[in-house]
Amino acid sequence: MSPTASFDGLGMSLGNLARLSMAETRSISAENPDGARGGGGRSTEGLATGPARELGVGWKVRPCIDLAGHATVTLADIAGRLTFSDLSGLFSLSWDEATTAEIPEPMASALCQTTTPEWPHTFVVPRYATMGEYKHLPPANHFHMVQGLSPARLEYWMDLNCVLSQATWVARPAYLEGVDRPLPLLYAANGGENAAKLMLGKKL
């Protein structure tokens, strides 16, 4: 089976699991802060420099960042999970408001063992997306959370960069007064935000 131009690799489910596309994924993390292709495991300095000193390049030397209290660090100038579609030539962003959550220690340890136990883990709960929705749209074993970022500020960033919004959670209204930025008239006059951005994308 060869990749087809009609399938962009998004909206994966058991019904299209066998289909191939030309989609490519990128992961932004402590070891690959700019999301470069093949950038994971390329660091030579980090918290695991000692244990990995004789293993060479390719091991997770920088799986996490050690931060002092109240310190901040920028991993990348984006928020959420971005996906690029060759079909539209645009990025789309799956996002939701979220809060951190405390879970019982036995459960926390068990969950950490399913990934990399040495990594720092923070458990969060999406505000509007159900677990079924979140597993369907951003299919990954983790996601990135930016604290203190308002939905309106994120939406303005997506407007400026013509990024499609994937936040169509059933429980979230299309517009929240005082939370979302006002819908631009350009969007309202052209079938909605993503429809207008798809038209704009053809002009870029």
Query: How would residue 123 be classed by pLDDT, with cut points 50, 70 and 90?
Result: confident
pLDDT tens track for 163-199: 999 888 899 898 889 889 999 999 999 999 999 999 9
The CA distance from 124 to 131, in Å, is: 11
pTM of the model: 0.57
Lowest model confidence (mean pLDDT) among 120-134, 148-162, 173-187: 120-134
Residue bearing tokens 């951003």 = 138
Mean pLDDT of the chain: 75
The CA distance from 116 to 59, in Å, is: 13
